[in-house]
Structure 1
Amino acid sequence: MSPKYKDMEVATLSPDQHQVNLRVKVIAQIMFGEVDDGNKSTLSKIKVAEFLVGDSSGCIIVKAINDQISHLQPQTCVLIHNARVEMYRGFMRIVVDQNTDAEIKPFGEASDDKATNANGKADDIQPNLEKNCSLTEYQYVPHVVLNE
């Protein structure tokens, strides 16, 4: 059975990329917090968390909100489907939020999963911690055409 989408490698990601599909191991939770949703009439909060995830090519930070957070447990493998790369202060992050139709699924929940064991643990993915794509700073340089 062929996969519905093509997996990418972390090291091949570029700034502001969309439709990102990754098969990664969750290494650690970096941050967790709650922020206002911006609606003054409801005064509700949005849960936000960041995780370090990786594959054999490198690692990167993933920002997730609300329901997606529960899928990102350290030492498990997940499929991140249709996410986007967002720049935060010049550094790349994978974003899974309400502005995308992205989803995070533990291994074994997709019909095309072959590389998992029964409990969804990440036995087959060894993250490359030497190449952290979230630590590379990018600077916007506008494209300027000079008249010669």
Structure 2
Amino acid sequence: MATTNPATPAPAATTTAKRKPVFIKVNQLKPGSSGHTLTVKVVSAKIVLNKGRSASSMSLNPRPTRIAECVIGDETGTIIFTARNEQIDLMKPETTVILRNAKIDMFKGSMRLAVDKWGRVEVTEPASFQVKEDNNLSLVEYELVNVADE
């Protein structure tokens, strides 16, 4: 029978304290970065892929795939957000959303923001800022340059 010594502290709880999210602005986004938390307004949303169920693909992919390109932004600029499936239903124009654990994907040399299964899109109360639509980060084209080691 094991006895416990009251002088020894109890083992620390295994739960880790959640750290406070650091909110950033759209103009701070850089290629190849991830783990972003942003509060943005939806400017527009357009469905670009809407694959329904077909008899031949029923066994491989049982649910339909929907992808929308949404222009989102804050008072510093805009960027294209790639919304997938259920996320599309939340991305209505003039809606304010919080994107948690968002990442930058590169598509044809330009930045796109996305939230995968490790992140979250949640609708919040309307924000007071005006979206700066003349600074679209997705219109900036990037080129991958390999630097040779000397």
Q: TM-score, normalised by structure 1?
A: 0.78
Instruction: Provide runs of 4+ in structure 1 moved above 3 Å.
Output: none
Give me the whole-angstrom Cα distance separating, in 2, the residues matched to 1:22 and 1:43. 32
Give the deviation of 1:43 after TM superposition: 4.3
Select which of 122, 133, 137 maps to 2:137.
133
Give the deviation of 1:121 after TM superposition: 3.0
- For residue 8 of structure 1, what is the aligned residue in structure 2? 24
Give me the whole-angstrom Cα distance separating, in 2, the residues matched to 1:80 and 1:4. 14
Question: Secondary structure of the residue that 2:46 maps to in structure 1?
Answer: strand
Give me the whole-angstrom Cα distance separating, in 2, the residues matched to 1:43 and 1:64. 19
Q: Is this contact kept in 2: 1:36–1:43, CA < 8 A? A: no
Give me the whole-angstrom Cα distance separating, in 1, the residues matched to 2:39 and 2:61. 36
Gaps of 5+ in 1: 108-119
- For residue 31 of structure 1, what is the aligned residue in structure 2? 47
- Residues 43 and 82 (structure 1), Cα distance of their counterparts in 2 relative to 1, 3 Å cut: closer
Compare CA radii of gyration and give the structure with the larger one.
Answer: 2
Equivalent residue letter for 1:5: P
Equivalent residue letter for 2:21: Y
Give the deviation of 1:4 after TM superposition: 2.6
Gaps of 5+ in 2: 1-18
Give me the whole-angstrom Cα distance separating, in 2, the residues matched to 1:121 and 1:70. 17
Q: TM-score, normalised by structure 2?
A: 0.77
Select which of 89, 98, 101 maps to 1:70.
89
Select which of 104, 114, 122 maps to 2:121.
104
Equivalent residue letter for 1:121: P
**Is structure 2 residue 137 aligned with structure 1 residue 121?**
no
Using the aligned pairs only, state the percent identity.
30
Give me the whole-angstrom Cα distance separating, in 2, the residues matched to 1:102 and 1:70. 16
Q: CA RMSD in A?
A: 2.1
